[in-house]
Amino acid sequence: MKISRILSKATGMILILAVILSIAPVAAFAAENGPYADTSGHWAENAIAQWSDYGVLKGDNGSFRPDDPITRAEMAAVLDRVMKYQSTDSPVFTDVSPSAWYYDNVRHLAAAGVVTGVGGGSFAPDRNITRAEAAVMIARAFHIADGSGETAVFPDAADIADWAADAVQGLKDAGYINGFPDGGFHPKDTITRAEAATILDNMVGLLIDAAGEHDYAGLGEAVGIVVINTDGAAVKNLKVNGGLIVAAGVGEGETYLENVEVAGGVYVEGGGEDSVYFNNCTIRELVI
């Protein structure tokens, strides 16, 4: 059992960074999970180590290159590793070769509706991802509701494209992103791998990636979103202040929830309504 972030109250949920998430260079997706020679003492060291331990983030030749930008393909790979999407029943992008290391990752996200490409049948896998693009992918993957528009907008809101505005506002409303010191979101800027690791660590309170019993009695509250991405997990005595996702990685398997209280929605992507068992649970909404 691994715990990414179990706390009694929300602390450090909002970064001065805008939305981010992803990792590893193109050659790194068959590489090691740390420790890395270039992350010791880095401000994102703990987040990088945690999500490398999960196998979601990877390095190359002993390095992680935390301050390098990330690409759209790398973003797809990270989200795919978190959710373990199954279906590849989606159109093939003209610039995503079957021989590319990210081929299945991109197809999985396209089938799940997380990515739609950049137009003209292309995905632009090697292009560094912008904050606006990252916001949309993250919001779709983690079921973040569109923003209400009731909170203060960013001073550079006019620079946020219409296709990204609802996702950006939704992530801000949920407390997962904030502005830079100047207050702006900087939607057209790229993000770094360290920023990616940090937003992932702040957003996901707990990743349950192993079968068997996971009893959280006495451990407090999971701050953020809980993701279960494996078959056969039995989760007990857990309070979640965000949502809970039974991810596609559960496949046709089963998930057991006992004495679980979820402030947000429970989203079932893997298994189905008849394979998620609730015993003395309190949830706001069940979405199949």
Cross-strand bridge partners of residue 30 = none
Higher pLDDT, 175 or 234: 234
What is the percentage of the chain residues whose pLDDT exceeds 90? 70
Instruction: State residue 262's pLDDT score.
Output: 97
Residues 6+ positions from 157 with CB-CB distance below 8 Å: 165, 185
**Do the Cβ atoms of 73 and 102 come closer than 8 Å?**
yes
Confidence of residue 99 (pLDDT cuts 50, 70, 90): very high
Confidence of residue 13 (pLDDT cuts 50, 70, 90): very low
Model pTM score: 0.86
Confidence of residue 1 (pLDDT cuts 50, 70, 90): very low
Short-list 101, 22, 12, 106, CA closest to 64: 22
**Do the Cβ atoms of 216 and 238 come closer than 8 Å?**
yes
Span 148-164, average pLDDT: 84
Using the predicted structure, report yes or no on whether residue 76 has a pLDDT greater than 90: yes
- Residue identified by tokens 């904030």 is 178
Residues 6+ positions from 41 with CB-CB distance below 8 Å: none
**Do the Cβ atoms of 129 and 75 come closer than 8 Å?**
yes
Cross-strand bridge partners of residue 246 = 228, 268
